[in-house]
Amino acid sequence: MSAEYKTVFASIDDYRKGGVHCLNEDPKRYVFSNLYEVAATNAPYDRIVVAKNLDYTIEAARAEGTSDWMVCAHDEFVVAMDYDVEVHFVKLADDSIVDEDKDGFVTLQGNPDGQKMGRILMTRGHQALLPEKTAYRFHSNKPATLMLQSILGEETIEKWADICLK
Amino acid sequence: MNTNLKPTIDNTQTGYESFKIGNFTFDRDEYFAYISCPNGEHMMSIDAFLRAMMRDVAWGFFYGTVAFDDVFGTTNHYGNVDVFIGSQHAEWTKAERDYLENFKSDELMDVFKALLSDWTNEGFDPFAAPQETGNAWGRNNGNEDKLISRQREVAKRMVGIPGDAPLRSDENGYPVNRAFADVDQSQPVIEAEPGFEGELHAYNFFAFLSRSDVTWNPSIVSVVRQSLFCPTTEEYILPIDHGNDRVEWFIQISDEIVWDIKDGKTSAPLATVTMRAGDVSAQPADIRHQGQSPKRSMLLVWENGSPEIMDMIKDGTVPIVPVTF
Ligand SMILES: [Fe+2]
């Protein structure tokens, strides 16, 4: 008989952090945080950088209710890390409103002008493409954790001292 | 100093070949690999050696240093590669026993591939978790050459998009791994409006990982310019110590990994980093890391493949830590 294994995932309401044990080292060099903790302790849809490599980012966000519409000059990706989240897409009537030279997401004021493209219903582990120059917004009925692959922009939040082990 | 103190190698008994490149000689017998250079010899258990060699070959010498253990390893300079004994160990360098030679990547790769082909016996898959494969011991007996040419999935934009790297399924030979039988296999629901069919893309990333047939071998699932999501499944021990030449990041997706951190230049132990689901940690560019995963786990390795970083490595201006706070 083959052994049964239990895969341990975590969620915004049930996570157990690890940590850094140092012999001769500064724990801050490991920039250690937890995606679920960041989502649990921040405002809905604040996109907080948890990992950064030059200007590339991985961001954590709490999904809860409906977000503003956002758009980005380059592709981004989102992963639903625990609970159900919807992503809605709109094809912009005029995509010249997207500044090609600007990295990172930009929040749009109000509803974007354009055609509805549809929506993706995601749950734990699902990854979706947020295509370049396409408006998107998230919706979640209860608090959930998002992980985003993007590039640092003017609206991305960095608060390392608040989120990292010291 | 006495030289050539390695145990007697008798290839006529074992059926293995010895391999040479520059001043390095590689021999194996039933239990061990022996690396010899003008400054002396080093021996390693053959299973650990083959697991490390498999990764060094499959990853094209990878980013920075692939340390087979604290003594022997390779450092990639992208086009040429250092092979060293003792160069990243404080006691070896202090005793001036360290030895390093640089080779053209393709010449070294040819020798390493020939060695892997000859030294890997039938039934031993160096990529597999120890419970999922045979053993490396004994005399020459067949090969596992199909593993040497194994290609990992490398997405251009995202896996599963038509024309890009395919998803894993039962049909294409990737059943769910025994340790991930409880992982949800549902796919996201895509409701496209008329005219936008085929423009919205999503897939089950955790299910994709649950079907990984190898350990400690990242594939690429999504790409934003040079930002590469390189997830992998891990079980038992990373067969190498990785001394990256740039910052890399880990995001633990499931279960737990304990990382042993050593100084990249001296092999002195520095820290232990325990990562559980949701934990995020940077690996500085001046250390080596080796992971230990008690149960098969899902790890997202995040790499930056920018040519800009290559230039910074050459000028010595590459950041050692990604952020200070
Ligand atoms: Fe690494």
The reply to whether B212 touches chain A by the CB within 8 Å rule is no
What's the whole-number mean pLDDT along residues B178-200?
97
pLDDT at B3: 62
What is the distance in angstroms between the Cα of B111 and the nearest Cα belonging to chain A?
Answer: 35
Q: Is B142 found in the same domain as B17?
A: yes
d(CA B139, CA B148): 20
Quick one: B102 and B182 in the same domain? no
Q: What is the percent of chain B where pLDDT is above 70? A: 99
The Cα–Cα gap between A129 and A77 comes to 5
Question: What is the average per-residue pLDDT within B219-244?
Answer: 97
Tally Cβ neighbours within 10 Å of residue B186.
Answer: 12
Identify the band that residue B7 occupies on the pLDDT scale cut at 50, 70 and 90: confident
Question: Are B240 and B304 part of one and the same domain?
Answer: yes
End position of a domain, from candidates B148, B163, B189: B148
Phi, then psi, of A155 in degrees rounded to 5:
-95, -10
Nearest to B274 among A19, A33, A119 (CB): A19
A65 dihedral zone (left: phi>0; alpha: psi -120 to 50; beta): left
Is the pLDDT at B215 greater than 90? The verdict is yes
Contact: A75, B184; criterion CB under 8 Å:
no
**Taking the model in full, what pTM does it have?**
0.96
- Please say if the pLDDT value at position A58 is more than 70: yes
The verdict on A110 touching B (C-beta cutoff 8 Å) is: no
* CATH fold for the domain made of A27-164: Jelly Rolls (2.60.120)
B321 located within any domain: no
A149 touches B at CB < 8 Å: yes
Asked if B165 reaches chain A (Cβ–Cβ under 8 Å), the answer is no
Q: Is the pLDDT of residue B140 over 80?
A: yes
Whether B131 maps to a domain, the answer reads yes
What whole-number distance in Å separates Cα of residue B184 and Cα of residue B204? 9
A24 interaction partners in chain B (CB closer than 8 Å): 268, 270
Helix B46-58 to helix B105-119 angle (10° resolution) is 140
Torsion from C-alpha of B308, B224, A39, A35, nearest 10 degrees:
-60
Q: B219 and B266 in one domain?
A: yes
- Calculate mean pLDDT across residues B17-32: 98
Q: Which residue range forms the structural domain that includes residue B18?
A: 11-148
Interface mutation vs chain B, best among A13, A35, A48, A77, most B CBs within 10 Å: A77
pLDDT at B244: 93
Tens digits of per-residue pLDDT, A90-112? Answer: 999 999 999 999 999 999 999 99
Which residue among B148, B164, B193 closes a domain? B148
Domain presence at residue B102: yes
Confidence (pLDDT) at B1? 54
Confirm if B85 and B70 have CB atoms less than 8 A apart.
no
**pLDDT for the residue B99:** 98
Distance between A109 CA and the closest CA of chain B, angstroms: 23
pLDDT tens track for B79-127: 999 999 999 999 999 999 999 999 999 999 999 999 999 999 999 999 9
Same domain, B188 and B133: no
Whether residue B257 is found in the same domain as residue B186: yes
A156 lies within 8 A of chain B by CB: no
The CA distance from B40 to B86, in Å, is: 10
Same domain, B53 and B95: yes
- Distance from C-alpha of A31 to C-alpha of A35, rounded to nearest angstrom: 12
Neighbour-count burial of B157, counting CB atoms closer than 10 A to its CB (0-12 exposed, 13-18 middle, 19+ buried)? middle
Read out DSSP for A106-162?
Answer: EEPSSSPSEEEEEEEEE-TTEEEEE-TTEEEEEEEEEEEEEEEEEE--TT-B--HHH
Chain A residues touching residue B264 (CB < 8 angstroms): none
B 138-157 residues inside an 8 A Cβ radius of A: 157
Q: Which residue among B157, B178, B200 places its CB closest to the CB of A117?
A: B200
Diameter over CA atoms, chain B: 80
Residue in B closest to A8 by C-alpha:
B255
DSSP-derived secondary structure for B119-139: HPPTT--TTS-GGGS----SS
What does the domain layout of chain A look like in residue ranges? 27-164
Amino acid type, B238: L
| Cα–Cα distances in angstroms (integers) from residue B294 to residues A61, A140, A158, B129, B271, in the given order | 30, 34, 33, 11, 19
Does a structural domain hold residue B324? no
Task: Say how many domains are in chain B.
Answer: 2
pLDDT at A82: 98
Residue A1 has pLDDT above 50, yes or no: no
Specify the CATH number for the domain of residue B50.
2.30.31
Q: How far is CA B66 from CA B58, B89, B107, B178, in A?
A: 12, 14, 17, 29
Write down the mean pLDDT value for chain A: 97
Asked if A55 has any chain B CB less than 8 Å from its own CB, the reply is no
**Of A35, A11, A32, residue with least CA distance to A20:** A32
When the pLDDT of each residue in chain B is averaged and rounded to a whole number, the result is 95
Give the pLDDT score at A2: 57
CATH number, domain of B232, equals: 2.60.120.10
pLDDT, tens digit (0-9, with 9 covering 90-100), for B267-285? 999 999 999 999 999 999 9
Residue of A24, A37, A126, A148 to mutate for B, most B C-beta atoms under 10 A: A126
